[in-house]
Structure 1
Amino acid sequence: MNRAALLILADGRFPAGGHAHSGGAEEAVTAGCVRDVASLEEFCRGRLSTSGLVAAGLAAAAATGYDPLLLEEAADARTAAPALRNASRKLGRQLLRAVRTAWPCTELDALATARPRGAHQPVVLGVAAHCAGLTPLDAAYVAAYESISGPATATVRLLRLDPFDITAVLARLGPEIDHVATAATEAAQRVHTEGPAVLPADSAPLLDIIAERHALRPARLFAS
């Protein structure tokens, strides 16, 4: 088990393109939903328990070695907003480029060939974790953490919030990250016998709405 790979994948400096995306935080700030540290924490908590859980389940399932193309279909079914599908595939394409360099393997090559315009980011993450010698739980942890670390970090630029306060938010949400990663992995362990329908499919309609609004905004700091 390559624990160093877990640190590399979860590192915000890993060249996977996440720095260009706010995970909906920019539009939430524009709409007045996120105004300060307290409202940011609530936003992250909601995102973690919905889209974060879904991403963690997909990543964990891919890390078990389950067919990534079937998981691609499952990701499509769980991503209603076209803007979010587009963002996920952009991030997946960039992540795939990075992980193929870091951990070359035939599974990543096959996914790149099958999805030249980009696969969904959680699916790529799970395949990468599998190739790097990580467990499904590891993949779920990375996906869950990324679902809130990106939006939280973006608010430093958007609202000039104190980075120390942002770190405290992520720390307070630690037990909830544990819960999401564990639940996602438990579901993923059943995917080989029950199919992708067993994976989490929690929805976040507000995230869908703000993603579509953000995609139409002519001037924006982040891509999503």
Structure 2
Amino acid sequence: MLTALILADSRFPGGGHVHSGGLEEAAARGLVTDEPSLKSFLHGRLLTAGLLAAGFAAAAARGEDLELLDLELDARTPSPAQREASRAQGRGMLRAARRAWPSPRLSSLPASPHQPLVIGVLVGDPYEAALTCAYLAVSGPASAAVRLLGLDPFGVNAIVAALPVEEVAARAGKELPALGSPALDLLAEAHVRREGVRLFGS
């Protein structure tokens, strides 16, 4: 559980702080402007991208074939920008993990792994790995909302605390999800093509 807590901590130097999970683009387009619209965005993200990531983290923790899981997650992520964001965060987390938890298990991961697979290998327990991924799917965008929109951090954290993160983690351990999130895909693709200043990589 300590490993899961460290990975979920925003201070862990895995590179997650430079990703908003689509929140920056959603805010730029006026889709997220206040706490109610943020709540809707985070809830939708949790039930789609969050469940997908949690399912693959749980499978990796169970010791399933990591190369196959990596390909399966690619197939379930149609947006090239989303795939690259997941792999960039995976590389960052793996780099930090090799210093924090040196282990031969890490060498079993693909060279540029998706983030959920790294979390699954590091945490080892399927439910805790799924819970970590489900939480990260909403905590990063929530933090970005505070910085981008100037929302009250107490209100934003209250939204995160009320989300069904544990339910999603429990569900993720029972199946390998194949969910689509076309709105997040479109936001990701628009974000990488946006000209001008961007505060986040995704």
Task: Quote the Cα distance in structure 2 between the aligned partners of 1:10 and 1:222.
Answer: 19
Contact map agreement 1:68 1:127 (CA 8 A) in 2: no
The residue aligned with 2:194 is: 217
TM-score, length-scaled by structure 1? 0.88
The residue aligned with 2:25 is: 27
Task: Quote the Cα distance in structure 2 between the aligned partners of 1:62 and 1:136.
Answer: 8
Contact map agreement 1:100 1:109 (CA 8 A) in 2: no
- Residue 129 (structure 1) aligned with residue 123 (structure 2): yes
- Residue 152 (structure 1) aligned with residue 130 (structure 2): no
Contact map agreement 1:62 1:127 (CA 8 A) in 2: yes
Note the C-alpha offset of 1:169: 0.5
Code of the residue aligned with 2:187 in structure 1: it is: I
Task: Quote the Cα distance in structure 1 between the aligned partners of 2:62 and 2:103.
Answer: 15
Code of the residue aligned with 1:153 in structure 2: it is: S
Unaligned runs of 5+ in 2: none
Task: Quote the Cα distance in structure 1 between the aligned partners of 2:57 and 2:169.
Answer: 10
Task: Quote the Cα distance in structure 1 between the aligned partners of 2:12 and 2:23.
Answer: 21
Note the C-alpha offset of 1:201: 1.0
The residue aligned with 1:101 is: 99
- Residue 37 (structure 1) aligned with residue 35 (structure 2): yes
- Residue 73 (structure 1) aligned with residue 51 (structure 2): no
Code of the residue aligned with 1:36 in structure 2: it is: D
Contact map agreement 1:47 1:148 (CA 8 A) in 2: yes
Code of the residue aligned with 1:161 in structure 2: it is: L
Contact map agreement 1:27 1:214 (CA 8 A) in 2: yes
Task: Quote the Cα distance in structure 1 between the aligned partners of 2:70 and 2:82.
Answer: 14
Query: Please, what is the CA RMSD of the aligned residues?
Result: 0.9
Contact map agreement 2:66 2:108 (CA 8 A) in 1: no
Task: Quote the Cα distance in structure 2 between the aligned partners of 1:178 and 1:6.
Answer: 14
Match of 2:174 among 183, 186, 191: 186
Q: Secondary structure at the match of 2:71?
A: helix
Between the two proteins, what is the percent identity of the paired residues? Answer: 53
Task: Quote the Cα distance in structure 2 between the aligned partners of 1:125 and 1:68.
Answer: 12
Code of the residue aligned with 2:126 in structure 1: it is: P
Alignment: residue pair count: 201
The residue aligned with 1:190 is: none
Task: Quote the Cα distance in structure 2 between the aligned partners of 1:69 and 1:96.
Answer: 16
TM-score, length-scaled by structure 2? 0.97
Note the C-alpha offset of 1:31: 1.0
Contact map agreement 2:3 2:122 (CA 8 A) in 1: no
Task: Quote the Cα distance in structure 1 between the aligned partners of 2:7 and 2:79.
Answer: 26
Task: Quote the Cα distance in structure 2 between the aligned partners of 1:125 and 1:215.
Answer: 25
Match of 2:114 among 96, 120, 134: 120
